[in-house]
Copies of this chain bind each other. A is one copy, B any other.
């Protein structure tokens, strides 16, 4: 610990944060990354796409979430003495950077946008870390090994599985921050759990994060929080209605483009994504933030294509589609017919969405993804240690299949 090779900030940098009190930054490399264009761009991408149309105060950005994930990683290192002893400083710094950067490749409205454009934010994240960017230069300057180390942690390629476990597993810094943060900014309390209790009961055994048995109830509460947030917030039908329309809007642009009928001006920023390019330059990715999208939708309200005009107006003015439980394919066909009769193109106006959430999945393909509990009888996977979670694991996955369409069709 004496030969610290990483430069420190002249004095500790602190940023007030309602979820964690403060974000604390000691390392210069972290401070420089925060101020890089690629990370600052996350200020222009909201954390919860369509959710703000249900919970109007859910307007926080991926930027503040990224700081929050960084801070949870930092708290873990600071407070879990086991971690301090098993991780060298280089690993600690790489982990802090991975926490901060894990979402840097996100575009606007990630899930629906990616589905329609066939892009992948994880791929962009990796490229931003490894290719020619400010982020890469900052990492490289601090330590030439850092870019690869950070990318490997995020992509689960690191040899030390514990590093990836902290960033991405069933109970990682990412999920812990977003449950707390989304709870705070929506104003629902369902996502709250006792982070400090969890931090106090984390131990490292067999190079894995494990929870002491005395922390098991805090973990149960975390699992419950996750379940509640999925169904009350993330998969809320109004949010999915917004995202379905967004999906339809982009498909419409793609379809027009492929038919050579996409004539909008001032929307160059969308083009790489609607052309179906497979090799999108990072500069194009950088420019497509949510501001660009909303500015684009405002332009589309003047489009000559009635569908683009209508769908963009619906997104901007919260004139969303109604929804019903999926009524079966026969009934769907009937509704599509009515749509056609009333002048709606069913490809863009009759939209289906299937949401599902696994309550608790006890064991995924990778061991480091599970939650482990340390008790007198040794390590046990969480659902073997908690009656509550066993109930979750055995329960049927919750599913919700819905059909969305304009209310005039109801």
A binding-site residues for B, Cβ under 8 Å:
14-19, 21-23, 35-37, 40-41, 43-44, 52, 55-57, 59-61, 63-64, 67, 184-190, 192-194, 196, 200, 217, 220-221, 224, 227-228, 231-232, 266, 268-269, 287, 289-296, 298, 313, 316-319, 359, 387-388, 390-392, 394-396, 398
Whether B396 pairs with A317 at a CB distance below 8 angstroms is no
CB neighbours (8 Å) of A394 from chain B are: 391
Q: Are A16 and B59 in contact (CB under 8 A)?
A: no
Taking a contact as CB atoms under 8 Å apart, the answer to whether B15 and A56 are in contact is yes
20 A-B pairs besides A266-B266, A292-B298, A391-B392 with CB distance below 8 A are: A14-B200, A15-B56, A18-B185, A18-B186, A19-B187, A37-B317, A57-B64, A59-B59, A59-B61, A189-B193, A190-B217, A224-B224, A227-B388, A289-B294, A291-B292, A291-B294, A295-B296, A387-B398, A388-B395, A390-B391
Is the pair B221, A190 in contact by a Cβ cutoff of 8 Å? yes
Nearest-neighbor residue (CB-CB) of A269 within chain B: B295
Residues of B within 8 A of A313 (CB): 37
Shortest C-beta distance, A53 to chain B (Å), equals 9
Known contacts A189-B192, A228-B220; decide if A317 and B359 are in contact (CB<8 Å).
no
For the complex, give the distance between the alpha carbons of A217 and B230 in Å. 11
Of chain B, the residue at the smallest CB distance from A360 is: B391
Given contacts A287-B298, A316-B40, contact A57 B387 (CB under 8 A): no
Report how many copies the assembly holds: 4
Residues of B within 8 A of A388 (CB): 224, 227, 359, 391-392, 395
- In Å, the complex CA distance between A293 and B295 comes to 9
When A and B form their complex, which 9 residue pairs have the shortest distance between CB atoms, in order from nearest?
A: A391-B391, A18-B187, A291-B294, A295-B295, A291-B291, A37-B317, A292-B295, A387-B395, A291-B295
Residues of B within 8 A of A289 (CB): 294, 298
- For residue A390, which residues in chain B have a CB less than 8 angstroms away from its CB? 391, 395
**Contacting pair B16 A186 (CB below 8 A):** yes
A291 surroundings in chain B (CB, below 8 A): 290-295, 298
Report the nearest B residue to A61, measured CB to CB.
B59
Cα–Cα distance between A374 and B167 once the two chains are bound (Å): 41
Quote the shortest CB–CB distance from A322 to chain B (angstroms).
Answer: 14
Give, as a whole number of angstroms, the nearest-CB distance from A231 to chain B: 6
CA distance A335 to B210 in the complex (A): 34
Considering only CB atoms, which chain B residue lies closest to A393 in the complex?
B391
28 contacts across the A-B interface (CB closer than 8 A) = A15-B55, A15-B56, A17-B57, A22-B196, A37-B313, A37-B316, A43-B59, A57-B60, A59-B60, A59-B61, A189-B192, A189-B194, A190-B217, A190-B221, A217-B228, A220-B228, A221-B228, A224-B224, A224-B388, A227-B388, A269-B295, A287-B298, A291-B295, A291-B298, A292-B298, A295-B295, A295-B296, A391-B391
C-alpha spacing A194/B224, complex, angstroms: 14
Of A41, A56, A64, A192, which is in contact with the most chain B CB atoms at under 10 Å from its CB? A56
Partner of A217, one of B23, B184, B231, B319: B231
> B200 touching A17 by the CB < 8 A rule?
no
Q: How far is the CA of A40 from the CA of B53 in the complex (A)?
A: 10
Whole-angstrom distance between the alpha carbons of A22 and B359 in the complex? 29
